[in-house]
């Protein structure tokens, strides 16, 4: 009975370490699984249920994508979570060398072209280029934008968001309409860009622009 308890406790600790890395990386479990190259999140959920431990192969896969994490700690719980001096670097953000308005739909199916470590963007899911003109000098064409998936209920009025519907994908400033059943999309550069009103129920996905980097 004591042996069984020890195994259960060890399995719980295994999941706690995985969960710590997932939360630190600001990802969902399923997104984290895809990010490190697993075909599905079930591999991680088996650890959560106590059916599997953390294999060395899985540990090395995680550390390959997150070199800040100490492999010994991940596999055994001994030592510290972070490699000495690396904890302040921030999470690695998947970078896609693509136009955000053309590629954000289905971005989870794409392979990153690289990774960006940026302290002010460590709460982002991905980074892509914005090549539009609607945001004027606020976001000049060629700006790298760092996005975090959100929802309509969490919209900050006046904030910049990428809105995905069946008909459009666009980056605009968002404003809540009266009654909160729709949002109004506006451009920073008003000339030639009409306002749009989109019903909440028509929004398939929404991403907040958490940070941006103007690339000269």
- What is the rounded average pLDDT of the residues 8-23? 77
Residue 171 and residue 141 in contact, taking contact as beta carbons nearer than 8 Å: no
Of 20, 44, 16, nearest to 30 (Cα)?
44
Is the model's pLDDT at 57 over the cut of 50? yes
Q: Are 202 and 209 in contact (CB under 8 A)?
A: no
d(CA 125, CA 122): 8
The Cα angle at residue 152 between residues 210 and 18, in degrees rounded to 5: 60
Closest among 137, 136, 157 to 208, alpha carbons compared: 157
Residue whose pair of structure tokens reads 């199916």 in the numeric block: 109
Q: How confident is the model at residue 117 (pLDDT cuts 50, 70, 90)?
A: low
Banded pLDDT at 9 (limits 50, 70, 90): very low
Round the CA-based radius of gyration of the chain to a whole number and report it. Answer: 20
Instruction: Identify the pLDDT of residue 83.
Output: 79
State the alpha helices, DSSP H only, in the chain: 2-24, 29-35, 42-48, 56-65, 71-76, 100-103
Mean pLDDT of 93-114: 90
Mean pLDDT of the chain: 84
Q: Structural domains in the chain? A: 2-76 (1.10.260), 92-213 (2.10.109.10)
Please give the pLDDT value at position 102.
96
pLDDT of residue 5: 33
Rounded distance, CA 204 to CA 188, Å? 23
């Amino acid at each position: 009975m004591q042996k069984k308890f020890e195994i259960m406790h060890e399995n719980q600790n295994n999941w706690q370490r995985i969960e710590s890395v997932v939360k630190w990386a600001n990802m969902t479990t399923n997104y984290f699984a895809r990010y490190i190259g697993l075909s599905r999140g079930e591999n991680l959920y088996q650890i959560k249920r106590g059916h599997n431990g953390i294999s060395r192969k899985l540990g090395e896969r995680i550390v390959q994508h997150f070199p800040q994490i100490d492999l010994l700690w991940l596999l055994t719980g001994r030592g510290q979570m972070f490699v000495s001096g690396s904890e302040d670097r921030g999470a690695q953000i998947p970078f896609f060398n693509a136009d955000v308005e053309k590629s954000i739909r289905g971005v989870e199916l794409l392979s990153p072209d690289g990774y960006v470590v940026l302290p002010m963007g460590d709460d982002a899911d991905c980074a892509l280029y914005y090549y539009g003109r609607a945001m004027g000098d606020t976001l000049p064409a060629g700006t790298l934008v760092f996005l975090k998936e959100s929802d309509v209920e969490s919209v900050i009025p006046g904030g910049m968001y990428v809105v995905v519907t069946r008909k459009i994908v666009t980056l605009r400033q968002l404003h809540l309409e009266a009654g909160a059943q729709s949002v109004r999309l506006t451009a920073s550069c008003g000339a030639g860009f009409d306002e749009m009103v989109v019903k909440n129920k028509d929004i398939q996905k929404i991403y907040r622009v958490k940070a941006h980097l103007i690339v000269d």
